[in-house]
Chains A and B, each alone.
Chain A
Amino acid sequence: LAKTTQPISMDSYEGQEVNITCSHNNIATNDYITWYQQFPSQGPRFIIQGYKTKVTNEVASLFIPADRKSSTLSLPRVSLSDTAVYYCLVVSVGGSQGNLIFGKGTKLSVKP
């Protein structure tokens, strides 16, 4: 199962773009990259998922290079409410079963 590595913490200011990079060197062919956001005392919330190239939704963009050994979550124009822990996951699917392996996450602090 692919393990992920991401920075422990990041600081930013309101209105800036934030890019969080995740390394997943052992990603397998059938694996997807998924990002979740978690606020204190709440369960994680799905942000975005991708397989390769670029995926964009109303919340974020996900950039995945051709070798898929890393990915970058991009949050445009962050606000104070984006202060949270962001988890990068490699979702391994084996037949009808699957595993979710959460790393330590990146604690993003957005300052005014």
Chain B
Amino acid sequence: KAGVTQTPRYLIKTRGQQVTLSCSPISGHRSVSWYQQTPGQGLQFLFEYFSETQRNKGNFPGRFSGRQFSNSRSEMNVSTLELGDSALYLCASSLVGVGSDTQYFGPGTRLTVL
């Protein structure tokens, strides 16, 4: 069974731009959650989508948004990029959801904001 895939793997943007990251979950998984990892703050939960609905959200500004499609694939969007948004963005999928189920993480997208 294929694992969680994320595209692109690396991305360089400049301040003020926006970016869209993509995550394809393991086949059959309906939950996709997103995380930001930085050296200073560690791994932080962004939000979770289940059956195309956001059902849980971390403490991030509204510039961070996401959506999930009917095939469970998910996208995360960050608008008006700031230098501090440079991070490794990870997505994870599971059958039932965060807290109820083992999370399978993808390799991440390394975003650099210049």
Q: A-side interface residues toward B, CB under 8 Å?
A: 32, 36, 41-46, 49, 87, 91-94, 96-105
Contacts and interface: CB of A to CB of B under 8 A. Distances in A.
B8 interface: no
B32 interface: no
**From DSSP, what is the main secondary structure of chain B's interface residues?**
strand
A43 B4 contact: yes
Contact of A43 (B45, B102, B108): B108
Interface in B60-114: 88, 90, 92, 97-100, 102-108, 110
Contacts of B108: 41-43
Contacts of B106: 43
Contact of B99 (A43, A98, A104, A105): A98
Contacts, number: 69
Contact of A91 (B48, B99, B107): B99
A100 B45 contact: yes
B92 A99 contact: no
A43 B107 contact: yes
A104 B110 CA distance: 19
Nearest to A48: B102
Interface residues of B, number: 27
Contacts of B100: 93, 98
Given A43-B108, A104-B42, A97 B102 contact: no
A98 B107 contact: no
B56 interface: yes
Contacts of B98: 91, 97-100
A46 B104 contact: yes
A88 B102 CA distance: 14
B15 interface: no
A92 B108 CA distance: 24
Contact of A41 (B92, B102, B107): B107
B48 A98 contact: yes
Interface in B16-68: 33, 35, 42-45, 48, 50, 55-56, 58
